[in-house]
Structure 1
């Protein structure tokens, strides 16, 4: 079983969701979802993004590219990261944003200029929210 399949099942069960419920949320039938969870098939990139969003995780964590699930980490856990872990997390977040925007580019036929505008908007929103905290 792949890291993706393992994490998909782990995150789903932690959320106390059935396979059918998660399949419904990402608009696929249960058999398709079950094949993903059993490692028999892999979803398209846009479905990986949807799964990560629904499961409150990053694409990199779900795919096994990172062992840090930032969206599930507490503020204290983030503050206690080593420099190396913080660098890995930062790189993971940037890669995750790029993956999400690439899926959006394909799904919504976005231009490279539109992708760059989206990156700026996301960063501005992040900074705004950080200031408010």
Structure 2
């Protein structure tokens, strides 16, 4: 199972975001964020929420817990992030939903 730091680091890379940008978006210091990524510290509840929101993910994912992604959770995540998505990303989701396996 990946650590909190590994999850944050992977999401930073995926979103092409710097630690400084994430620190600003989540309201934590760069130093604290660095400690989370190194695994020296685990973010508090409020900080976990802020980091997860800034990275467009869930607290469970940040903390390395299994996400329960039922319809209501998926819908909530999509609603929170639709303005950040490109038209190509939205089209990819639609294609995924209607693709026959």
Point out the structure with max Rg over C-alpha.
Answer: 1
Report what 2:89 is aligned to. none
Residues matched between the structures, number: 79
Q: Quote the residue 2:63 is aligned against.
A: 63
Structure 2: runs of 5+ lacking an equivalent? 79-92
Tell me which residue corresponds to 2:18.
18
TM-score for both structures, normalised by structure 1? 0.50
Ranges in structure 1 where 5+ consecutive residues have no aligned partner: 81-133
Higher RCO by CA contacts (8 Å cutoff, separation 6 or greater)? 2
* Bigger proportion of residues as helix: 1
Matched, 1:54 2:39: no
- For the aligned residues, what is the CA RMSD? 3.0
Kept in 2: contact 1:61–1:68 (CA 8 A): no
Deviations, residues 50-73 of structure 1 (Å, cap 9, x unaligned): 11111111111121112688548x
